Structure 1
Amino acid sequence: MSDQQSLDKQIISQVAEKSIANQLEAAEQIDIYVETDILKIVQGQADGVTFTGQGLVTKQNIRLQEIKLQTDNIDINPLGAIFGQIQLNKPVNLMARVTLTEADLNHALNSQFSRKLVQQFQVSVDGQVVDFDLQKMQISLHSQNHIELQGKVQLTENDHNRLLGFTAMLRPRTHSHPIILESFKCTQGEGISLDLIVPLMQKFQELTNLPYFQLEDINLSIKNVEIQQGKLILLMEANVNKIPDSVTQLLD
């Protein structure tokens, strides 16, 4: 590699670091390495991007303790980028390792952005629709890869609303086994009928067996979850077809 090529990459990486930092509320450390050169970057191309960050806080106050991300080839519309519109000419594959503390996780889970994704769902019982509206959720990280969930959910059944409190213990997905629900206990309300438990467990199984979940034009797959000393570590793969509006708004 020539000195000029090395200098090109350093300049481009420094510009990318500054751009990302300006879109965050706070960041303890950001390091970005863009595998490209001046000619490719003018054409909107890069052979890959490596991104690492610590103590990142988005504009919507969601904090990541640490993130390490690696992409494959990137090809964007350079004209759109000039006007602040990032348009991918082809999908981008990436791998990410994200670390959240227990406090970060609970704050993110109860944020407005997250609640839009997981707050409501439905199941059918004997042809009748039962709505679940998550009111509150608290996560505790235990040793030996156990996660305790404490929450409250409002059930709407036959136009009748009732509040249900619960505690659940589960083991997260790993390379060797799927998500395992070890226990579920009602702590407030009338409990759940057997007729409702069966479709609810079927819904849970359906969601946990999905190969990926979709956030607009991002197919995101969680490959492994690990718990270490009050931290949740996620290993994820994603296929990005375009930069979603919601992600752009998250950083606005």
Structure 2
Amino acid sequence: MPDEHRLEEKFLSQEAERRISEKLDEVEQIEIDVQTDLLKIAQGQADGVSVAGQGLVIQEGIRVQEIKLQTDSIAINPFNALFGQIELSEPVNAIARMILTEVDINRALTSDFVRSQMQNLELNVDGEIVSFEPEEIQVFLPGDGKVEFRGKVLLKEIGNTRPLAYTAIARPRTHSQPAMLESFNCTEGGGISIELITAFMRKAKELMDIPYFEWEDITFSIKDIQVEIGSLILLLEAQVRQIPSSTTVLSP
């Protein structure tokens, strides 16, 4: 950090780095900058917090190649801040830029945490519920704004359960265009009905159009997605209700 930072800024920033680093499974580099001074701490204020990190493994199998985050001015608990713990007194807005590599995305898709979130997805096919359980999935990032999926699912129709393999190409939602599913092809399993593929495409678009998602006490809203060869860049807005502490950063 720059030498001109005040002692209290350095203390809070270094203590925040230590607390977060201890609770990450792995971290190549992390820098946290708490922008404040002693008078503002005593008043329960800080101008903001910035975070820059590389190679962060937040839990087994889930890795972020790079993240940069900057908050607005924040209200903090002054007593806890004096002991090196940043505890928000009210929610704060932040902007973030996150890079995920193709390798890291595919590794995350095999993690127990992600697989537990992808079990028994349901489709409404002309009033009848059809579920499918993902068995394998791979993501490829060829660039040109496209994401390619290849996978296998267990399709559970009424009175019939069968495996199905597929390939699909999609364009994620960006600030200038909606999510688009360019193609979907069955490669094994005898194909599926027009009604089922229509319901599947509707579900895929619904998932790609989710306006926000939550992790711990942070609500993220995706504002733009850029697909480059081998990497996905997410531009996010976030509302932070509480900065992850030593007791919450790894909670599922």
Which TM-score band (shorter chain)? 0.7 to 0.9
Residue 131 (structure 1) shift: 1.1
Q: Counterparts of 2:103 and 2:95 in 1: how far apart (Å)? A: 24
Amino acid at match of 1:150: R
Q: Counterparts of 1:55 and 1:159 in 2: how far apart (Å)? A: 46
2:212 is matched with 212
After superposition, give the CA deviation of every residue in 1:71-93 in whole Å (9 maximum; x if it has no partner). 223335577899xx986432222
1:189 is matched with 189
2:19 is matched with 19
Q: Which moved more, 1:89-98 or 1:141-150?
A: 89-98
After superposition, give the CA deviation of every residue in 1:101-120 in whole Å (9 maximum; x if it has no partner). 11111111221222233444
Contact 2:216–2:251, Cα closer than 8 Å, also in 1? no
* Runs of 4+ more than 4 Å apart: 39-45, 76-82, 85-88, 214-217, 242-245
1:175 is matched with 175
2:56 is matched with 56
2:26 partner SS: coil
- TM-score (ref. length: structure 2): 0.84
CA distance change for structure 1 residues 59 and 194 in 2, over 3 Å: closer, same or farther?
closer
After superposition, give the CA deviation of every residue in 1:1-23 in whole Å (9 maximum; x if it has no partner). xx997121112111111111111
Count of paired positions: 249
Contact 2:68–2:97, Cα closer than 8 Å, also in 1? yes
% identical equivalent positions? 51
Residue 224 (structure 1) shift: 1.4
Alignment partner of 1:8 is 2:12? no
User: Structure 1 stretches of 5 or more lacking a match?
Assistant: none
2:147 is matched with 147
Contact 1:5–1:37, Cα closer than 8 Å, also in 2? no
2:112 is matched with 112
1:97 is matched with 97
After superposition, give the CA deviation of every residue in 1:170-198 in whole Å (9 maximum; x if it has no partner). 12222221222111111111221112122
Amino acid at match of 2:99: T
Q: Counterparts of 1:215 and 1:32 in 2: how far apart (Å)? A: 19
Q: Counterparts of 2:107 and 2:70 in 1: how far apart (Å)? A: 26
CA distance change for structure 1 residues 219 and 16 in 2, over 3 Å: closer, same or farther?
closer
1:241 is matched with 241
CA distance change for structure 1 residues 87 and 152 in 2, over 3 Å: closer, same or farther?
farther
Bigger helix share: 1
Residue 249 (structure 1) shift: 5.8
Q: Counterparts of 1:33 and 1:58 in 2: how far apart (Å)? A: 20
1:47 is matched with 47
Q: Counterparts of 1:64 and 1:251 in 2: how far apart (Å)? A: 17
CA distance change for structure 1 residues 32 and 128 in 2, over 3 Å: closer, same or farther?
same
Residue 98 (structure 1) shift: 0.9
Q: Counterparts of 1:17 and 1:215 in 2: how far apart (Å)? A: 20
